[in-house]
Chain A
Amino acid sequence: MAEQELVTIEINGIELQVPKGEMIIESAKRIGVDIPFFCYHPRLGKEQAANCRMCLVEAGTKQPDGSVRMMPKPQTSCTLPASQGLVVFTDTVAIQKARRGILEFLLINHPLDCPICDRGGECPLQNNTLFYGPGVSRFVEEKRHLPKAFPISDYVVLDRERCIHCARCTRFSQEISGDAQLEFLKRGADTMVSTFQNTEFTSRFSGNTIELCPVGALTSRVYRFRARPWDMKSQKSICTRCSNGCNIWLDYRPNRLVRVLGRENEAVNEEWTCDRGKFGHEYISSDRRLLSPLVRRDNRFVTASWVEVYQLIASRIRQAVEERGAGAVGAIGGAHLSNEEAYLLQKLMRVAVGTNNIDHRLERNQVAGGDTLLARLGVPFTQTAIADIEKAKTIFIFGADLVDEQPIVFLRARKAWFRFGAKVIIAHPEPTETELRFDEPLVLRYRAGTETTLINGLSHLILQSGRAVTDGISLEELQASLSEYTPARVAQETGVAEDALREAANLLGEGTVILCAGRVRNHPEYAVLANALVNLTLLTGNGSRGNGGLNILLPEVNSHGAADMGVLPDLLPGYVPVNDREARERIERIWKASLPAEPGLSTQGMLEAAAEGKLQVLYVIGEDIAQKYHDPELAQRALENAGFVIVQDLFLTDTAQYADVVLPAASVAEKEGTFTNTERRVQRFWKAMNPPSPDVKPDLNIFAELAVYLGKPLPVFSAEQVMEEIGQVFPAYAECCYDQMPAEGVRWMPTLTDRGK
């Protein structure tokens, strides 16, 4: 970024230097001068609305002779840019009077039903009135009356009486989420916020408008009347609903989660949350949670003690190992576990059971030896940091409905386009919601199944154009393999017009961020497609430098962490191949145990073996494979035919119905640990509540105790201690020790090859 020109301004007699053009309301923050406001919000839009008039200041400019020439009227400090010699007064008698007047006006039409308003206690209008407002109102007439508690969606309630028309919600929906569903109707005293013809407010980010609203006009239907701010406690946590790793606050009353708020992290979610994250944590306080271990007896589940189930599990595992060898035991799961738990799970399987049959992947991208990206780009899944997406020149959304699959990555991508003018290419076989959120993006509507052809066609065009960057590629080989993908042929096969292909190829270049999600991960020929995508990335010069790069975004909260921790059949923690003797021996020395050298079975392999009755014990942790596996029928057959099925989960899922033993696990609010999000950022979450019953245990404890019953104790006292051990085994995690971890988390850097960024 270029050096910004600094100007000298004066606020309340204090001289300071600020970047030219910075709004005075922000400059005042630098020296701790408080300016009240309602509509100003640093993240909203390119410009502020300046319609609440609360942030008025008196301003003037210094003349060459040293005198100050004041502007005739107060100025809104949220739209007053800093310029050389600007003199600002924020607390004069005139300003105090103006603030009192503004607040008296706002309160004329505000119902003052604070005792029953969900915003009461944390309401900017209450606070500003207390500090800057008049004590009494001169307005004794009847106030305006409008519909109260009008639900505009399943999540949001609108109270039009309380609205002060600050336009925060409308600006959010137009400029940040891009769905533009909220707008002002009518003018003057009749102004009201509304959706188009009172249709449902279906935005995927509607929850943010609740947090933005400076009064109680938009409130949550889920949180409605559940608690007041002073009734609850808050704990820092990480959202578990997708791999983006949004920082959230869990607000809870004694043993009941009441709401989720966005927590600021500039590197990940800024301060936004999607609706799935904001309203999707109700499961934590569900009445249907498992409360004690269950054992199947006479085809019925009966409650059992932990000692009983541990003994049963240990005896069945020992029996299987004795009869058929350790390969007859397998574990599936880990993408919903914390890093520490995933690490301990694979250690349990490898050390205490002695098998490499362990995998967390439920999709088709179960490639052996890690990912193609790891081999060729040096990163496991993603090259670009979420925050760096906004610096992209071109954003290529390939086969993903980003709004739905990766909401927070979508917000960054949209910010890159809306704020910084990035070009957007969207390739998807069907019309998606994401396309509607950008103005006229370049859409490549290819036929499903021709993904590889499309990518190779684009690579071919870039190679032909002579712009291709060819470091680290065997050019001749690539030219030969791409030569058959002529634009004409690609256009014919994929159904994308040749002009569109050429236009897209022209836009792709240095600074291109490629964003892929579920469609790529689930591609039948994932390895071939990933290879083609890596070729395209390298040819556009995004292999190792700049802000561009290839990103195959992940499905679950800790998919990345599970892979890092070696919940993979052929890789130990830190992507160490199990058959690499030297590296394996290093880990053996740390663990003081010998490890199996043969790669184990992937999820697909385990399920196939189980379906044929070859797997004696199947341990499923936190995954509903009967529903969510990409081939659910195979998973169901496997569960039916496996000798002994252990399911560890929060609920009695469809998978648990097949189980012989069900272990109740603690939810994210009831334990501590770290998650690694899709951009490799390791972030901590803390324990908020106690589990719903004393028989519900964190997964970490279950693994540690099971190891004791299996005769190979893995002494564990806390998640922190496990993280220290992870740092020894996988040095990239060494910075993630709890006492060192910075607030925004640690984005670990691969040092596997010098090509990694």
Chain B
Amino acid sequence: MITQVAKRFVKTVLPLAQGLSITFRHQPPFHEPITVEYPEQKRPMYPRTRWRHVLRRYDNGLERCIGCSLCAGACPARCIYVEAAENTDEHRFSPGERYARRYEINMLRCIFCGYCQEACPTGAIVLRDDYELADYHRSDFIYTKEMLLEPIPEPQEE
């Protein structure tokens, strides 16, 4: 009888303990946690990850974007709208003749394929690692040029 009870105990509880031991091994203090406390903590993204677009600048602060609209042409979701204008000596935005007066991306439509980045002849539009794109209103998903542009880099002293 006793042996029977012991046999049953071993048959039922031991596997349970075995299984739980794996669980406990992955628990503090035996193991670092795998999940992160998201809003407070963030995971580092892979270098080639494709999230929110950024319009880059040259080191001297001029915009790289020349308003050529090739990104809009390459975009399979048709979510980019570009309106170009001509630089003048008084109002210079980019090095050449042409700059983007309006540059808008509809983030609701964007599928983050990165074709725009591939099409860009000056490396102006890039997809970076900011993935926090949720918002409350549809109209807020139209990202304008002002939102997309990098801040003007600080002059480096060396």
Contact = CB atoms under 8 A, between A and B. Distances in A.
Tell me, yes or no, whether A binds B.
Answer: yes
Interface of A: 113, 115-116, 120-121, 148-149, 224-228, 230-231
Interface centre among A120, A148, A227, A231 (most CB of B within 10 A): A231
Q: Range of interface residues on chain B?
A: 10 to 19
Contacts of B85: 225
B72 A116 contact: no
A224 B84 CA distance: 9
Given A225-B85, A225-B86, A116 B97 contact: yes
A225 B98 contact: yes
Contacts of B98: 116, 225
Nearest to B82: A231
A362 B109 CA distance: 53
Interface of B: 66-70, 72-73, 82-86, 96-98, 121-122
A228 B86 contact: no
A682 to B, nearest CB: 37
A691 to B, nearest CB: 21
A226 B84 CA distance: 6
Contact of B69 (A113, A148, A224, A228): A228
Nearest to A230: B73
Contact of A115 (B70, B72, B86): B70
Contacts of B73: 121, 228, 230-231
Nearest to B74: A230
Contacts of B67: 116, 225
Contacts of B69: 227-228, 230-231
Given A115-B66, A121-B73, A224 B86 contact: yes
A115 B82 contact: no
B82 A116 contact: no
Contacts of B68: 115-116, 120, 228
Given A224-B86, A225-B84, A231-B82, A148 B70 contact: no
Contacts of A230: 69, 72-73
> Which of A116, A224, A230 has the largest number of chain B CB atoms within 10 A?
A116
Contacts of B82: 231
A148 B121 contact: no
A230 to B, nearest CB: 4
Q: Which 9 A-B pairs have the closest CB atoms?
A: A115-B68, A225-B84, A116-B98, A228-B69, A230-B73, A115-B121, A116-B66, A225-B98, A149-B97
B99 to A, nearest CB: 9
Nearest to A116: B98
A283 B67 CA distance: 25
Nearest to A227: B69
B100 to A, nearest CB: 10
7 contacts: A116-B96, A116-B97, A149-B97, A225-B86, A226-B83, A226-B84, A231-B69
A161 to B, nearest CB: 12
Contacts of B122: 115
Given A115-B121, A227-B69, 18 more contacts: A115-B68, A116-B68, A116-B98, A120-B68, A148-B97, A149-B86, A224-B86, A225-B67, A225-B84, A225-B85, A225-B86, A226-B83, A226-B84, A228-B69, A228-B72, A228-B73, A231-B69, A231-B72
A698 B82 CA distance: 30
Nearest to B101: A225
A16 to B, nearest CB: 39
Nearest to A253: B83
Contacts of B72: 228, 230-231
A596 B130 CA distance: 75
B158 to A, nearest CB: 31
B58 to A, nearest CB: 16
B10 to A, nearest CB: 73
Nearest to B122: A115
Nearest to A225: B84
Given A120-B68, A228-B69, A231-B72, A113 B86 contact: no
Contacts of A225: 67, 84-86, 98
Contacts of A224: 86
A113 B94 CA distance: 14
A116 B67 CA distance: 8
Most chain B CB atoms below 10 A, which of A148, A225, A226, A231: A225
Contacts of A149: 86, 97
Nearest to A115: B68
A112 to B, nearest CB: 10
A116 B97 CA distance: 8
B88 to A, nearest CB: 11
B115 to A, nearest CB: 13
Contacts of B70: 115, 228
A149 B88 CA distance: 12
Nearest to B98: A116
In the complex, which of the residues B69, B82, B96, B121 has the most CB atoms of chain A within 10 Å of its own CB atom? B69
A42 to B, nearest CB: 30
A221 to B, nearest CB: 10
B104 to A, nearest CB: 12
Nearest to A120: B68
B80 to A, nearest CB: 10
Contacts of A148: 97
A162 B7 CA distance: 92
Contacts of A121: 73
A121 B68 CA distance: 11
Contacts of A227: 69
